[in-house]
Structure 1
Amino acid sequence: MLWRRKVATAIVVAVALNVAAVNLNEDFSGGHGDAAFAATVVPNVQAAVVRNWGPVVAGDEFNYLGPPNPLKWKVYDSVGHDGNGIRSPKAVKVAWGALFITGDAHGTTGGVSAKFAQQKYGRWETRMRTSIRDVEYHPVVLLWPNDNKSPNCAEVDYAEALGNVNVIKFSLHYACTRSNYQTRAAKAIDLTQWHNYAVEWTRTGITGYIDGVPWYIDTTPSHLPTVGMHQTLQLDWFPDGTITNQTQMIVDWVRVYR
C-alpha cells in the first residue's frame, strides 16, 4: 500500500477474540503439535464453491517447509511500508501447511508478491487469520499492479486490517492524487479465526466476499484497474510511539480462478 487516500465508506459491525502466536524459531521438521496454531474451527465456506468458479488455475497451498516457493513468490527485502522498519525474508516462512509472516517488537516484518496469475480480470481467494494483533501491525491481502505501474494508481485491498483490531476492510484505490481516492467497506470480525477473503474482478465491476458472502461491490467504470494485477500478502508496520508486540499473519492458501 503505497498511496494514501480520500474515502467513501460503508460500515457493518460485530466482535473479536484472541489466539496466541506461534514460535517460528521452532524446528519446522516436526509435526504440527503447537496448539496455538489451531484457531477455533469455523465453517470453511468459499466463494469459489458457492459461486461455482470452477478449477483453481494458480496459487499456493503452502504444503511444504521453508521459504516461500521462489517459482511462485518474490519475498520482500527492503525498508518497510512508508519507510518504517524493514521487510526481511527472515520474517517469512512456510510451516505446518501455512505461510507465516511475523512482525517483531522492532518493526522487522515481511511480505510476498506473487509471480503467478499476473492478469487482468479474474478471481482470487485467500484463507487467512492473525495471532493476537498489535494495533501497529496491519495485515493486508491485496492485488497490486504488474510492474508497479497503473495510470489510476490502482490497488485492491480485499482484506485489510488497520488500527482497529476487530475490523476488516475492503479498499479499492482508484486515483493518483496526493491523498488518493478509494471506495471501501468495513466489517467487524474475529481476525484471529480463519476466514476466506475473495475478490472477483470483471470488466463491469469488483466484488468482495467474506466466507462466500458478498460484502463489497463497485461498478463505477473509472474506479476499476486498467492494467493487470497480481496477489501480494503483507504485514505492514505503522509505529505510533508505543511498545510493539509480536504479531503474525497466517495464510492457509491462496487460489486463483479464471
Structure 2
Amino acid sequence: MSISSKYPSTRARKTLLLAAIPISLLALVPLASNAASAATVTTTATATPTPTPVPSISSNVAGRKLVVSDEFSGTAGTAPSSYIWQAIQGGGGWGNNELETYTNRASNVSLDGKGDVAITARKETYTGKDGITRNYTSARLLSNVSVKYGYIEARMFVPQGQGLWPAFWTLGSDIYPKGYPYSGEIDIMEALNKMPTVFGTLHGPDSVHQSVYGVGPKTSPAGGLAGAWHTYGIDWTSTAITWFIDGKSYGSITKATMPAGAVWEFDKPHLMQLNLAVGGNWPGSPDATTPAVSTMLVDYVRVYSSTTSGVTPAIGYTKINLG
C-alpha cells in the first residue's frame, strides 16, 4: 500500500441547495426517466469497442446483508431511476478546470438494456443549459439516497485514454450549507488517463494548514483496469475506511492515522456519485490518442452491512435541488 497526498483537492465542488426527507429503504427500483434539456450540438465522434462482460468478478460480500441496491435494469436508451439518481448539469470546470459539460441526454447517460448504466464522454461542441460552450460532453450522477457506514460497492468497466477521469465517490449530504471541503469526500475509486492504477482518497478540511487534505491508498492490479470489469468498494465504519478492488483490500485510513489538523468528516450521511470527467488539473487535457467517444459502464451499486463493525448502514433520502 502506498499513501498519496494531493494538495489542493482534486475536486473542489459547486455549492448546491438541498431538502432532506428521511426515509427507510430496503430496496430501490428504477422509476421514471429524466427529460433531456435542449442544447446546441456539433458532433464528430467515433465509437470505441463495446466491452465484453465478465460474469464472475470477485467481491467482498460474504457474511454481509444487502440493504440497498440499484441493478440498472430497464429499457435501453432510458434514464436511470430519477428516484435514486439525478444528473448534475453544467460546464463550469467544477473547480478542477475540467473540460466537459455534464448533461442529462441519453447520449451521455442511459441504461444499455443489459443491466448497466452507460456514462459516455464525447468530443463535441455543446452549449449547455448554463450557457457555457465546451468541446466535450459527459455525465455525472448524484444519488438522492444517503448512506452512513456499511460496505459500498460498484461493479464497473472504466475506459482509459489521456484526459479521462472516471470515478465512483461520495460527498457529505451537508454540502449545503457547509460547502466543500467541510462536507467531506470519499473517493471509492478514481482512475486517470492510461494508468493501470486505482486511487482511493479521503478529502476534507485541514485546520492546521487552512487547506484541503487528500489521503488514501492506491494500487495497480495485475492486468490493469481498462478492458475489464472490476468491483470497487469501501468498508466504512465510525473509526476507519478500507478500500477494496475485486474483493481484496489494498489500504485503510483510520481516525488515529489521519494527518495532524485533518478533520474527520465521515460520521454523517454521504451521497454517492458516478461520473466520467474529461481533462482537469489532475489528469491533464486529452490528446490526439484520446478516443472521441469513451464509455464507463456500471453494472450495479450496492450497499451492505459492514462485517468489520456488524453495523447496518443508516439509509436516508436527501434530494439536492439542482435548479
Normalising by structure 1, what TM-score? 0.78
Extract unaligned runs of 5+ from structure 1: 8-19, 23-35
Q: Distance in 2 between matches of 1:175 and 1:164?
A: 30
Q: Confirm or deny: 8 A CA contact 2:158 2:296 kept in the other structure.
A: yes
Correspondence for 2:302: 255
Q: Which residue of 2 aligns with 1:104?
A: 122
Determine the C-alpha separation between the residues in 2 that align with 1:78 and 1:178. Answer: 29
Shift of 1:63: 1.1
Structure 2 distance, partners of 1:143, 1:88, is: 19
Q: CA RMSD in A?
A: 2.4
Q: CA deviation at 1:178?
A: 6.9
Structure 1 contact 206–224 (Cα < 8 Å) conserved: no
Q: After the TM superposition, which residues 211-222 of structure 1 pair with which residues of structure 2 at under 5 Å, given as runs?
A: 211-220=246-255, 222=263
Deviation at 1:88, TM superposition (A): 0.7
Q: How does 1:236-255 map to 2 (within 5 A)?
A: 236-238=277-279, 240=285, 242-243=287-288, 244-245=290-291, 246-255=293-302
How far apart in 1 are the matches of 2:216 and 2:226? 18
Contact persistence 1:174–1:225 (CA under 8 A) = no
| Equivalent residue, structure 1, for 2:27 | none
1: CA distance between counterparts of 2:231 and 2:249?
12
Deviations 1:191-232 (A, max 9, x none): 321111111111111111111111120112544524310211
Structure with max Cα Rg: 2
Q: Deviations over 1:163-200 (max 9, x none)?
A: 34321111111325675211122222323211111111
1:146 and 2:146 correspond: no
Task: Give the residue type in structure 2 aligned to 1:123.
Answer: Y
Task: Please state whether the residue corresponding to 1:107 is helix, strand or coil.
Answer: strand
Q: How does 1:148-187 map to 2 (within 5 A)?
A: 148-149=175-176, 152-175=182-205, 180-187=212-219
Identity %: 24
Give structure 2 stretches of 5+ with no counterpart.
9-46, 124-134, 257-262, 305-311, 313-323
What TM-score, normalized to structure 2? 0.63
Choose the corresponding residue for 1:113, options 138, 142, 146.
Answer: 142
Please state how far the C-alpha of 1:123 moved relative to its aligned partner. 1.9
Q: How many residues align?
A: 224
- Measure, in 2, the Cα distance between the counterparts of 1:72 and 1:21: 28
- Number of the residue aligned with 2:70: 60
User: CA, structure 1 residues 241+126, in 2 after alignment: closer, same or farther (shift >3 Å)?
Assistant: closer
Structure 1 position 127 matched with structure 2 position 155:
yes
Runs (4+) off by over 4 Å: 176-179
8 Å contact kept, 1:153–1:173: no
